[in-house]
Structure 1
Amino acid sequence: MSEDDPFGGRNPTSHERMTGLPWDASYLEGPAPWDFGGPQPAVVRAAGSFTGTVLDAGCGSGENALHLASRGLPVLGVDVAETALAIARRRASELGLDAEFLTADALHLERLGRRFDTVLDCGLFHAFDADERVAYAKSLEAVTKGTLYILCFSDGENAGPHPVKREALTKPFGAGWRVKAIVEERVRTRFHDEEGAPAWFATIEREPSDE
């Protein structure tokens, strides 16, 4: 990235257009709003269900990816925020964890040229608008061969920014996907109390192809 092109040659997302800032800016002056100092409790509770190779899409500074790596899972975290990725790599080194972190656009995950048994999205889905969510689901098709887990803000009381209605969460995942479960959860942030904000935790499976 450069001062002339803070978006690194990609089209800015709806959130970036709204704020006028790239995602990387969230990490330049201290912790980002969603960096409360550890992995999301919902991810910790669900981690026992994660199997095989894991992709953390929109991994930020890596707290969730590092937690999964500490459980012995091979994890790749991707993000467009290079400052966040530098933090994640430093933390992995400090903790002696074998986790990989790469710069990648979540709307073009096919460019990774890899597929994963488990994919985690913690706090990314809700930042996309409706059109981006359709493109994102298509992007996820290219890399998900097992189960996708999405933790996002819901539209409950004391909701976080970009609240998501239940039907909006399922709408992008049509043919080739099976929504196995959506349960009420919480998302920790630096601007909510320890209970966090209301959230959905979705378990969405890729259906076997006929090929």
Structure 2
Amino acid sequence: MQDRSGRSTGDADDPLTGRRPTSHERLTGLPWDASYHEGPAPWDIGRPQPAVVRLAAEGGFTGTVLDAGCGSGENALHVASLGLPVLGVDVAETALAIARAKAGDRGVEVEFAAADALRLERLGRRFDTVLDCGLFHTFDAAERSAYVTSLASVTEHGGTLYVLCFGDGGSGTGPHPVGREDLRAAFDLADGWRVVAIEPERIRTRYHDDGAPAWLATVKRA
């Protein structure tokens, strides 16, 4: 739940949002929405991530697209500008409002909606391509398992999932680094996933001009 300031106060489901605060929210004592209350969030660079732009240029996004944890919408807007149907979801209503305003200003047709990434099955939809840019690394081990199950519920069989997350290699890594083996373990073949590639990448933030060490995982849904 949250107190009047919007701070997370426990592990029970919030009766207003219908979801449980994540480990990151419990650690910081603040809901994700608070990140957007006083200017751009640390990860909001005002443009799509270069890795996402490159994937799009290479034809990596096809069919219907889901951007899980879309924030203020830059990645979703970029993919939608290519003519693909895109849904961006986030728990931060302020970020979604900013994303919708950007879409209107730019004349880009894209859908944004509030949704809990740990319960994506509630969307009642499936997607050919799913993007996670900077969400996976915010979850602890227990949440990651639930998140991967949630992703499976919305990824079409034969569909592609891209995960761009802070990596554990080199200096200047992000606040929640993930190891290559953490990614492989999360997307187990027995659960219907096939890890195609895990490649070194960089995530741009407002504090990393040249990007923080990251992994870009390409995962197929069987």
Task: Report the TM-score, using the length of structure 2 for normalisation.
Answer: 0.90
Task: State yes or no: 1:19 paired with 2:28.
Answer: yes
The offset of 1:119, in angstroms, is: 0.2
In 1, Cα distance between equivalents of 2:206 and 2:4: 31
Which of 68, 92, 116 aligns to 2:79? It is 68
Which of 181, 185, 188 aligns to 2:197? It is 181
- Deviation track 1:82-114 (CA, whole Å, cap 9, x = no partner) reads 000000000000010110000000000000000
With over 3 angstroms needed to count, the CA separation of the structure-2 counterparts of 1:114 and 1:196, relative to structure 1, is same
Please give the secondary structure, in 2, of the residue aligned with 1:147. Answer: strand
Indicate the residue corresponding to 1:132 in structure 2: 143
The offset of 1:173, in angstroms, is: 1.2
The count of corresponding residues between Structure 1 and Structure 2 is 206
The offset of 1:75, in angstroms, is: 0.2
Indicate the residue corresponding to 1:37 in structure 2: 46
Please give the secondary structure, in 1, of the residue aligned with 2:47. Answer: coil
Task: State yes or no: 1:166 paired with 2:180.
Answer: yes
| Aligned amino acid, residue 82 of structure 1 | E
Task: State yes or no: 1:205 paired with 2:205.
Answer: no
In 1, Cα distance between equivalents of 2:2 and 2:195: 40
| Aligned amino acid, residue 53 of structure 1 | T
Indicate the residue corresponding to 2:113 in structure 1: 102
- Deviation track 1:174-209 (CA, whole Å, cap 9, x = no partner) reads 12000001100000000112x1001000000001xx
Runs (4+) of structure 1 exceeding 2 A deviation are 1-9
The offset of 1:135, in angstroms, is: 0.2
**Considering only aligned residues, what root-mean-square deviation do their CA atoms show, in Å?**
1.4
In 1, Cα distance between equivalents of 2:135 and 2:198: 16
**What runs of 5+ residues in structure 1 fail to find an aligned partner?**
none
In 1, Cα distance between equivalents of 2:45 and 2:221: 31
In 2, Cα distance between equivalents of 1:22 and 1:178: 33
Task: Report the TM-score, using the length of structure 1 for normalisation.
Answer: 0.95
The offset of 1:9, in angstroms, is: 3.2
**What runs of 5+ residues in structure 2 fail to find an aligned partner?**
7-13
In 2, Cα distance between equivalents of 1:28 and 1:40: 22
The offset of 1:3, in angstroms, is: 5.4
